Amino acid sequence: MDPRVSSSPLSLKLVSYQGSATGPKLIVLGAVHGNETCGTKAIQRVIGEIDSGKLEIAAGQVTFVPIANPLAYRRGERAGERNLNRNLGPKDKPADFEDRVANWLCPLLARHDTLLDLHSTRAATKAFALVGPLDNTGVVEPFQHAERERALAKRLGVSRFVEGWLGTYAKGVARRAREAAAKGDRAQRPNADARYGVGTTEYMRSQGGYAITLECGQHDDPTSPKVAYRAIRNTLDFLGITGGPPPQPVEKYEALRIHEVVDRAHAADRFAREWSSFDRLKKGEAIATRNDGAVITAAADGWILFPDAKAEVGNEWFYLAEAVEKI
């Protein structure tokens, strides 16, 4: 750990408001990734409205963290020393700046009931919300608040929803483990552990709460902070923290489930074209070509998500998604 970086006096700011009546405890995060500032701007706008008396916190509690990763934010980059939104959990021996943030952030998350984590995307795409699994008692992500979480998602002001992140990530981990065993490879890699897929929302669910990641649009799109602001206000109203009328759920929407992750196996692996998240795929369409000439094609109609042309060898290259009837 570089002491010039990790020992820098960067403080973590939170602003909390308590209503006079009992109610739920909401936490809202901005800038978990330092170059994703729409949430920070929206949070500051809402704080201004509360402080001026324009917006009343009537019940429960809301805590705002405008900048969850101050080192990355100061640099204007996605990460400080690593991605804060992976392998999130308390660390007995913090090894980097993000570990130190996690030791502050994780207990804070655990003290709340609901999390709204505000992000943005590198490529231009319309806003979408990532939701967790259906209720289950499984090993990967046991959960009991799917109905409430998805009811909130439908009131954020967006009309595209994606589920299946951690379950698909765990499938990728299992595949990597089988491949490594077949090769006799005992090297330990971060993405060979399902816990590496845990970010803020997954951690929140593990602590008994529910959570939504909202991707508000492209990083520099001037409408992204407006999407984030509307989502905060709608969440406060939906939870009854303010005295505002509860927002109506979106009636027409697009719902997708991530079902497969494909890794980059060689530096010469290449995409068939420049892909962006939510590009449609037709059955049999060429997605990419391996170093040995093998062509990866779509097994069925669907979508490509999170394509990374600069992915490191052995890491996630892209995800595949399919339509679901509803969230």
* pLDDT tens digits for range 80-137: 999 999 999 999 999 999 999 999 999 999 999 999 999 999 888 999 999 999 999 9
Q: What is the largest CA-CA distance in the chain?
A: 66
Q: Could you say which of 231, 252, 273 is where a domain stops?
A: 252
Question: 293 is in which domain, residue-wise?
Answer: 259-323
Same domain for 287 and 217:
no
Question: Which tens digit of pLDDT belongs to each residue from 216-254?
Answer: 999 999 999 999 999 999 999 999 999 889 999 999 999
Question: Which tens digit of pLDDT belongs to each residue from 296-320?
Answer: 999 999 999 999 999 989 889 999 9
Sheet with 270-271: list strands edge to edge.
Answer: 270-271, 286-289, 295-297
pLDDT at position 123, please?
Answer: 85
Same domain for 273 and 157:
no
Same domain for 140 and 9:
yes
Q: Could you say which of 235, 252, 269 is where a domain stops?
A: 252
Considering the chain, what is the average pLDDT of its residues? 93
Tell if the pTM clears 0.85, that is, is over it. yes
Q: Which two tokens stand for residue 230?
A: 């509307």
Same domain for 197 and 234:
yes
Same domain for 278 and 243:
no
Q: What CATH number is associated with residue 68?
A: 3.40.630.10
Structural element, H or E, at residue 296: strand 295-297
Distance in angstroms (rounded) separating the CA atoms of residues 135 and 145: 7
DSSP label at residue 191: G
Same domain for 57 and 131:
yes
Same domain for 270 and 228:
no
Closest CA to 316 of 139, 215, 125, 173: 173
- Is the pLDDT score of 38 beyond 60? yes
Is residue 69 within 8 Å of 98, Cβ to Cβ? yes
Same domain for 139 and 241:
yes
Q: Based on the structure, what is the number of domains in the chain?
A: 2
DSSP label at residue 84: T
Question: Which tens digit of pLDDT belongs to each residue from 138-180?
Answer: 999 999 999 999 999 999 999 999 999 999 998 888 888 787 7
Percent of the chain residues topping a pLDDT of 70: 95
Same domain for 316 and 201:
no
Same domain for 226 and 267:
no
Same domain for 278 and 200:
no
Q: What CATH number is associated with residue 278?
A: 2.40.50.100
- Written as one letter, the residue type at 284 is G
Q: Could you say which of 203, 235, 252 is where a domain stops?
A: 252
- Is the pLDDT score of 189 beyond 70? no
Same domain for 165 and 307:
no
